[in-house]
Amino acid sequence: MSSDTLLSIGEVVKTCKVSHKTLRYYDQLGLLKPALVNQNNNYRFYKKSQITRLTTIKQLQELGLSLEDISTFYHQNTPENIFDSLNHLLVTQETSIKNEIALLSEKLRKIQTIKSHFAEITENLSGNETEALILKELPSRTIIYKEYNGIYPASVFRDTYKTILDHLQEQGMDFSNICSPPLAFRTNSQNSQPVNLKIGYAIKSPLGFEDFQILTLPAGHYACVLHKGNYDSLQKLVFNELFSDPFINTVTNQITALEIYYISEATTDISDLFLTEIQIFANNV
């Protein structure tokens, strides 16, 4: 078979593993026109030498180059323009791929951070029975937060957490700096219903959070209760039981509860599955 032997479109499709539609589109773009089109039945035929161009087009596509860019490259009319055009396309694509790798690496690191974070939570909660008051020895923690006073709507929590996360994204900060689920401090003096809320996250480093309030929880023993249920039942537990507990009230007339929302509306629509740990500490915040 000579090099001028014509191949039917079906033979090209089978040999190069492309579709009829793809070959017709290449024709429309001027990338790969048939060597012959039968005027009676519109059958398309290609030279064997065109297989090389088809293979090159596919390779350039696999590198992420668009067909429009490839078409521009193929329409250069001098050797200098051919080299310059191809080099420009490759350099541009190289930069794009490097940026994509950086983004994917960041996503991978976030995934690994979240996995590690939830592994720590699972280990921390292992063996804890819900609604049972236990004493835990906990390390020192740094908290960033926004403060709210008064009778609050539920949206104050959502809005505050969104403000913090938006701040991290806008400042290009490392999300792995957050080392806790969403949390809030609730202070109640002598069982009065208006509350003081400090809503935020535990963090590894306060750098970059100058627009937020920061506090450090000391290491020590905390009275802890793991609560399973919706937020209404959580409020009843905190206000009606913990804040009125005679033993706890003998320690101080102002009680501060740290609520850590392990499972919340962020992870399930079933409010009865919400899991919250309440940590009561004697020293005031």
Architecture of the structural domain at 6-73: Orthogonal Bundle (1.10)
Answer whether CATH 3.20.80.10 is correct for domain 130-281. Answer: yes
pLDDT of residue 2: 46
Angle 20-22-25 (CA atoms, 0-180°, nearest 5)?
110
**β-pair type (220-228, 133-138):** antiparallel
Three-class secondary structure of residue 145 per DSSP: strand
Q: Find the mean pLDDT for residues 116-144.
A: 83
Q: Is the pTM of this model over 0.75?
A: no
Using the CB atoms, write b or e for 167-187: b if 16+ within 10 Å. ebeeeeebeebbbbbbbbbbb
Local structure of residue 132 (DSSP, 8 states): -
Q: What is the pLDDT of residues 139-179, one digit of tens each?
A: 999 999 999 887 767 788 889 999 999 998 888 888 888 98
Contact 216, 142 (CB under 8 A): yes
